[in-house]
A = this chain, B = another copy of it.
Amino acid sequence: MTPYTQLETFLNQENEWLPSLSLDCVIFGFHDHELKVLLLKYRNVDALALPGGFVHKEESIDEAAGRVLRERTGLTDIYLEQFYVFGQKERQNHLFNKTIIEAQGFQLPADHWFIRRYVSVGYYALVDFLDVIPSPDYLSDSIDWYDVQTMPPLLLDHGQIVRKALDTLRTLLEHNPAGFGRRAAPLLPDTFTMADLQRLYETILDQKLLRTNFQRKMLSLKVLERVDKKRTGKAHKAPYLYRFKPWQ
């Protein structure tokens, strides 16, 4: 099928979807000192957006989030978690949807299902951006990683959705390190040094932390366990390795 036919088929599928409800996925990519977010560019539309989609009538919203991510970015086996529902009446998603479709050469009748009001459930995930290779779907020119601090303005309220996801992540990291540790598993090796962990914290919080304070605080939280050093000639100089205690 050509992209045009694929889009035409999709636009005729009103009865496949739960009305009013959409999903948007904020995929944070971390590596070394960089925090990025996965954004796509719709064909013939000169602005970036989050990968998003709809919910099948026979599908849970969590299943839908995984499928939407897979179909739109090629990414699989990613643990997505809902973080907020964007339900402002001023979202104006119908104007945004209309723009995308018209850019593909279609005209939609004013009451078309695709340009009605949608309330969007935001999902987020954390991955190592070196571990995954996103690929654009038939509606997109490109899909790529953008630095969170310097990303350009996004379509619709997607900038606000990214900020809310980042707030959620920072609150988790500052107030609930055990909960953060569970979700951050894809970002760290099985065992890691205190410096590895500090780098992750600093990148997500976008601020430098004092090494001694950070170490004292992390140890006092009792969420880490120290792993035996490898027995090498220089073992006494190597930093300690840690892992998050098992999820109970």
Contact surface of A with B, Cβ cutoff 8 Å: 18-21, 55, 57-64, 82, 84-85, 87-90, 117, 119, 121, 171, 175-176, 179
Contacts and interface: CB of A to CB of B under 8 A. Distances in A.
Nearest to A57: B117
A147 to B, nearest CB: 28
11 contacts: A18-B19, A18-B20, A18-B119, A19-B19, A21-B119, A59-B89, A60-B90, A61-B85, A63-B89, A82-B85, A175-B175
A83 B61 CA distance: 15
B84 A82 contact: yes
A1 B117 CA distance: 32
Contacts of A55: 87, 119
Across the A-B interface, give the 10 residue pairs with the lowest CB-CB distance, nearest first.
A61-B87, A19-B19, A175-B176, A18-B20, A175-B175, A20-B20, A60-B89, A60-B88, A20-B21, A19-B20
Contacts of A88: 60-61
A62 B90 CA distance: 12
Given A57-B117, A175-B179, 7 more contacts: A18-B20, A55-B119, A58-B89, A60-B89, A60-B90, A61-B85, A61-B88
A83 to B, nearest CB: 10
A54 to B, nearest CB: 10
A111 to B, nearest CB: 12
Contact of A119 (B58, B61, B171, B176): B61
A79 to B, nearest CB: 17
A62 B87 CA distance: 7
A52 to B, nearest CB: 15
A19 B63 CA distance: 20
